[in-house]
Amino acid sequence: MIITLRGSDRKDRPDLFDQLFRLRHDVFVKGRGWSLPCGNARETDQYDVDDAVYFIDLNKDGVIEASVRATPTERYSLLADYFPHLIENGMPARSPDVYECTRYIVMPAQKSRDNIRAAKARLLIALFRWAMEQNLAYLQTVIDAGTLSSFVEMSLRTIPLGLGHPYGGGRGAPGGGECLAIRWPVCPEVIADVLEFVGWSTMPEDSYDPALVRASSPALQLM
């Protein structure tokens, strides 16, 4: 089941956020070797703000199997702050109708091809349904260049904002690699693409509760 929380909910859901930050430490610090601020085996950064929106996929045991964080780019953008050189098509990194997705994790307990696809689909469809309710134009993110094909496979509407560039010392360096920035238009067609990717006619009813999302993350007013 996908639930959606704001950063301001941390005081009300400390156990869930603690599980999320521990998972991020395991995936990005221990697993990827990224040099990130962390303490007590938990990874947090300057984008874990009250305005951040967290999409979290919980299994029946309450264990996180997938998550992604979305932030308003006008105030909080990894791309604008650290990777502006990834944008080579003239599009602005910050805009009131663009949110940025970071800390994307997909780790279902049963790691089959179908389960991984299903976890991706649940997370992304919930994210895009929410984004449509906010009247957003685009979602953007910074990805490892080698994963571009997996995003294009989910939707041909994936828009690269430029070419790949090295980070962290480049490929071969501990925690390094090559990254690029992409955008997806916020529209029903992307949801249809993701449904086709996973082989569903519609989102399973027990995977996502729009009322729960609206209750925990009310509509934002764009300035």
User: Looking at residue 39, what is its pLDDT?
Assistant: 80
Q: Do the domain assignments include residue 222?
A: no
What span, in angstroms and rounded, lies between the C-alpha atoms of 84 and 78?
A: 9
Quote the domain boundaries for residue 82: 2-216
User: Looking at residue 74, what is its pLDDT?
Assistant: 98
Number of folded domains in the chain? 1
Convert the pLDDT of each residue in 47-69 to its tens digit. Answer: 999 999 999 999 999 999 999 99
pLDDT band of residue 209 (cuts 50, 70, 90) is: low
What span, in angstroms and rounded, lies between the C-alpha atoms of 157 and 106?
A: 21
What is the percentage of the chain residues whose pLDDT exceeds 70? 91
CATH of the domain at 173: 3.40.630.30
Q: Do the domain assignments include residue 147?
A: yes
Q: Do the domain assignments include residue 56?
A: yes
The CA dihedral of 7, 9, 12, 17, to the nearest 10 degrees, is -40
Q: Do the domain assignments include residue 84?
A: yes
Task: Find the mean pLDDT for residues 7-26.
Answer: 97
